[in-house]
Structure 1
Amino acid sequence: MHILLTGPGGFLGSALAHYWAGCGHTLSLLARPSSGLSRIDVLADQPEVHILRASTPEEITSLVCETAPDVIVHTACSYGRKGENPLDVMEANLVLGTALLQAVLNGATANSGAPTTILNTGTVLAPNVSLYALSKSQFSAWGATLAAQAPARLRFIDLRLQQMYGPGDDHSKFTTHVIESCLSNQPRLALTPGEQRRDFIHVDDVVRAYDCILEHRDRFAASDAIDVGSGETITMRGFVELAKQVAGASTVLDFGAVPYRANEAMLCVANTARLNALGWRPKVSLTDGLTSMIRLATDL
């Protein structure tokens, strides 16, 4: 299978790239000119892996036309945590993806006579939580609308991803920040009250879920959505306390020192019934996942 994957330099995108390259698929890895690709350096010399760079919608649609992939997996995004302005966030989370949609509608992919599937990495956050959540929700709506209008050409599956974690994630992520603070025995870690309940899912389980959905894509409607998570929740306080325990840290956890952000979601959990029906089950427990992350970090 020929897969066009966006965001290959990111945490999830690179994990998918490594997995699918190992499965023998042909990969076209689409990245912005400024994106670092250190996570996939070892894939660059593989004959079935092609690195593509594009920044404008015109360049993106042209590359999709040239490569003619069987499917498109969209993971590229901007969280807005690194000084990006609203235009930057919108460009990454809405414009780039819309260019992919337009390329498919133009008939630029390999699926002559059948709809081309786009797996989109969506969000479970409400649009009023952040510009990231707003722009991601808007793109999901665009994809669903266009697929409903042109089901013969486009199948759009929105993967509503819960709280992913794992080794090698960005330092700006909450999970990584907590683990690094505990490993370095920071004297004090300022936190919210931690009453929010979250569904944590290890990146290895996420990769298997994406692969499972891709394998069974023909079982989805033209405009569809599916939850990706463990189906279980723990409070943020419970997560932090578990990370501290596994790390053997002496860090003082100062719950309540930080207020909740505006419009904070207090409960996020996946309904895993559809994934389970496809044969997928999570394999990595939160305790095992945190233990492996901490063991890997201490071995480096």
Structure 2
Amino acid sequence: MKTILTGATGFLGSEILKVLLRENHNIIILKRTFSNTQKIKNELSAVRQYDIDKTSLASIFEENKNIDAIIHTATCYGRKNETASQIFYSNTAFPLELLELSVKNKVKTFINTGTILPLAKKGQMHNYVLSKQQFAKWGEYYSQDIQFTNAILDYIYGPFDDKTKFLPTLIEACVENKESINLSGGEQLRDFIYIEDVVTAYMKILHLQNAPLEVEIGHGLQTSLKNAALKIKELTKSKTNLNFGAIEYKDGEPMSLKTNPAFLNSAGWKPKYNFTDGIKKLISEEYKK
């Protein structure tokens, strides 16, 4: 299949790219001139790439006829103090232009990366969630013209993720045996899913003839952040002191999230790694020393 992939330099997109290439897809990646391509340095020679800050999306479709699918994983969380308008452009306006051109050029499939997070009245994730929900509505509107699927995810984890996230920060502290790390009470419940399982779910959606408008990817199980932290400490045999309750919960932070993977399960997909096995694999690959 001839596939356009956004976010190929990121955590999820880079892993999807590697699998697409192994399956011999014809891949076009959209990035920016300043994108860090370290994660895909070995794959760059095998793909066609465009810098979207220099090239219009319309011209990309003109140069590449008969595109079969779009996989959109690029996102802006607002973690670098981006403005509301910047987040809106990245998560709503840009993919909407991509979707409009996909419909115009008769692309068959558009897979969007959504979020399970609810819209909070306040908090740093408000603009991110709102922009994601707005684009999902546009996807629903255009679904009469293209097979649009919103892939709903909770907490993806795996080797070489952003070090500012909860699990990577915690694992690094434990591996290095830091004296202590301050944490919240850890009562938040999350549906953790290993990156390799997420990628196989995307591949399953990509090859379905009639994928639904919304597909949730996960175990359908919940693990508290406290139990996740304790399991990581156990697996790393760390002496790091976990100071639960040392910091307050974030404004608008949801306390309970869980996916419903019933559709994917019925389509033959099941996750390979439970939380313990996923963390073991992460540690073995990222911290071989």
Alignment TM-score, normalising by the size of structure 1: 0.90
Report if aligned partners of 2:147, 2:210 keep a CA contact under 8 Å in 1.
no
Matched, 1:138 2:134: yes
Alignment of 1:183-198 (within 5 A): 183-198=175-190
Measure, in 2, the Cα distance between the counterparts of 1:185 and 1:225: 42
Q: Who is 2:59 aligned against?
A: 62
Pairing partner for 1:163 from 133, 147, 155: 155
Q: Which residue is equivalent to 1:288?
A: 277
Specify the SS of the correspondent of 1:52: strand
Distance 2:249 2:53 in 1: 35
TM-superposed deviation, 1:211: 0.2
Q: Shift in Å at residue 41 of structure 1?
A: 0.9
Alignment partner for residue 195 of structure 2, among 203, 207, 210? 203
**Residue in structure 2 matched with residue 104 of structure 1 by the alignment:** 102
Counterpart amino acid of residue 37 in structure 2: L
| Native 8 Å contact 2:181 2:243 kept in 1 | yes
The answer to whether the 8 Å contact 2:153/2:217 transfers is yes
Q: Deviations over 1:56-89 (max 9, x none)?
A: 8x81233134223200000000111123232222
Q: CA RMSD, aligned part only? A: 1.6
Structure 1's unaligned 5+ residue stretches are none
Distance in 2 (CA, whole Å) between partners of 1:280 and 1:164 is 17
Q: Confirm whether residue 4 of structure 1 aligns to residue 4 of structure 2.
A: yes
Contact kept, 8 Å, 1:121 with 1:158, in 2: the verdict is: yes
State how far apart, in whole Å, the 2-side matches of 1:39 and 1:27 are.
Answer: 16
Q: CA deviation at 1:55?
A: 2.8
Alpha-carbon distance, 1:226 to partner: 0.8
> Following the alignment from structure 2 to structure 1, what is the Cα–Cα distance between the partners of residues 165 and 64?
33
SS at match of 1:13: helix
Q: Do the aligned residues in 2 keep the contact of 1:7 with 1:74 (CA within 8 Å)?
A: yes
Q: Is the 8 A contact 1:61 1:102 kept in 2?
A: no
Does the Cα contact within 8 Å between 1:64 and 1:100 map onto a contact in 2?
no
Aligned to 2:247: 258
Letter in structure 2 aligned against 1:260: Y
* Distance (Å, rounded) in 1 between the aligned partners of 2:76 and 2:243: 29
Q: Check the 8 A contact 1:191/1:257 in 2, yes or no.
A: yes
C-alpha separation in 2, matches of 1:61 and 1:278: 35
How far off its partner does 1:33 sit? 2.3
Does the 8 Å CA contact 1:6/1:13 hold for their aligned counterparts?
yes
- Structure 1 residues 266-289: Cα deviation after superposition (integer angstroms, max 9, x where no partner): 111111110001100110121111
Structure 1 segment 141-156 matched on structure 2, within 5 A: 141-147=137-143, 151=144, 153-156=145-148
Distance 2:58 2:281 in 1: 40
Counterpart selection for 2:167 from 169, 172, 175: 175
* Paired residues of 1:199 and 1:229 also in contact (CA < 8 A): yes
Percent identity, aligned pairs only, is 33
CA distance in 2, matches of 1:178, 1:23: 34
With 185-194 and 5-14 compared, the bigger mean Cα shift is at 185-194
The residue type equivalent to 2:221 in the other structure is: E
**DSSP 3-state at the match of 2:193:** strand
Shift of 1:233: 1.1
Does the 8 Å CA contact 1:5/1:13 hold for their aligned counterparts?
yes
SS in 2 for 1:55: coil
Read off the aligned partner of 1:102 and give its amino acid letter: E
Q: Which runs of 5+ in 2 are unaligned?
A: none
The Cα of 1:161 is off from its aligned counterpart by 0.9
Q: Secondary structure at the match of 2:18?
A: helix
Task: Tell me how far 1:29 sits from its aligned partner.
Answer: 0.8
**Which digits, 9 at most, give the CA deviation of each residue in 1:224-273, with x for residues without a partner?**
10100121111010011111111111111111111111222111111111
Normalised by the size of structure 2, how large is the TM-score?
A: 0.93
Question: C-alpha displacement at 1:170, in angstroms?
Answer: 1.0
Contact 1:198–1:236 (CA under 8 A) maintained in structure 2: yes
CA distance in 2, matches of 1:270, 1:212: 17
Q: Tell me what 1:219 maps to.
A: 210
Give a deviation string over 1:111-169, Cα, whole Å, max 9, x none.
4xxxx21100000001225122221121112211232xxx1x32210000121000011
The answer to whether 1:299 aligns with 2:288 is yes
2: CA distance between counterparts of 1:62 and 1:154? 20
